[in-house]
Structure 1
Amino acid sequence: MAGPQLPPQTKLVKPKTKRGKRALEKREPKLVEDTKKALLLHGGKVSQVVQDALGSINKLKQGECVRYTRRNDDARPFEAGGEARLEHFARKSDCSLFALANHSKKRPHNIVLGRFYNHQLLDMLEFGIEQHKSIAAFRAAASAVQVGNKPCMAFAGDGFTQVPELKLAKSLLIDFFRGQQVASVNLKGFKHVILVATLDRRLHLRQYAISLKRSGTKVPRVELEEMGPRLELSLRRVQAAAPDVESLAMKQPKTSKKKEKNVSTDLLEGKVARVYVPQQNLDTIALRKTKGSKRERRSSKLEEVAAAAAGVERPAKQARSS
Structure 2
Amino acid sequence: MVAAIRVPKTKRARRELLKHAPKLVETGKKTLILHGTKTSAVLNSVLSDIYHLKRDNAVKYTKKNDNIRPFESGGESSLEFFSLKTDCSLIVYGSHSKKRPNNLILGRTYDHHIYDLVEVGVENYKSMESYVYDKKLAPKLGSKPFFAFIGEHFESSELKHLKEVLLDLFRGEVVENLNLAGVDRMYVCTAISPTTVYMMHCALRLKRSGTSIPRMELVEVGPSMDLVVRRHRLPVESLKKEAMKTAEHAKKVKNVTKDPVQGRLGKVYMPDQQVGKLTLSNDIKGLKRERREAKKNKEHSKKQKVNPE
Q: Pick the TM interval, shorter chain.
A: 0.7 to 0.9
8 Å Cα contact 2:127/2:222 also seen in 1: yes
Count residues with an aligned counterpart.
290
The equivalent of 1:168 in structure 2 is: 161
Measured in 1, the distance between the counterparts of 2:18 and 2:258 equals 37
Counterpart mapping for 1:1-322 below 5 A: 4-6=1-3, 12-15=5-8, 23-140=16-133, 142=135, 143-161=137-155, 163-200=156-193, 201-254=195-248, 257-259=250-252, 275=267, 277=269, 279-283=271-275, 295-298=289-292
Measured in 2, the distance between the counterparts of 1:106 and 1:292 equals 96
**C-alpha deviation, 1:82, in angstroms:** 1.2
Q: Secondary structure at the match of 1:69?
A: strand
Measured in 2, the distance between the counterparts of 1:126 and 1:117 equals 18
CA shift in 2, pair 1:25/1:230, >3 Å: same
**C-alpha deviation, 1:254, in angstroms:** 2.5
**C-alpha deviation, 1:94, in angstroms:** 0.5
TM-score (normalised: structure 2):
0.82
TM-score (normalised: structure 1):
0.79
Q: Secondary structure at the match of 2:56?
A: coil
**C-alpha deviation, 1:260, in angstroms:** 6.0
**C-alpha deviation, 1:116, in angstroms:** 0.8
8 Å Cα contact 2:256/2:267 also seen in 1: no
CA shift in 2, pair 1:67/1:19, >3 Å: farther
1:207-247 CA-to-partner distances (Å, cap 9, x unmatched) read 11111112232222211111111011111011111111111
Structure 1 portions without partners, runs of 5+: 303-322
Report % sequence identity: 42
Amino acid at match of 1:233: L
Measured in 2, the distance between the counterparts of 1:20 and 1:69 equals 30
Measured in 1, the distance between the counterparts of 2:198 and 2:274 equals 79
Structure 2 portions without partners, runs of 5+: 297-309
Q: Secondary structure at the match of 1:99?
A: strand
**C-alpha deviation, 1:144, in angstroms:** 2.7
CA shift in 2, pair 1:285/1:248, >3 Å: farther
Amino acid at match of 1:234: V
CA shift in 2, pair 1:19/1:145, >3 Å: farther
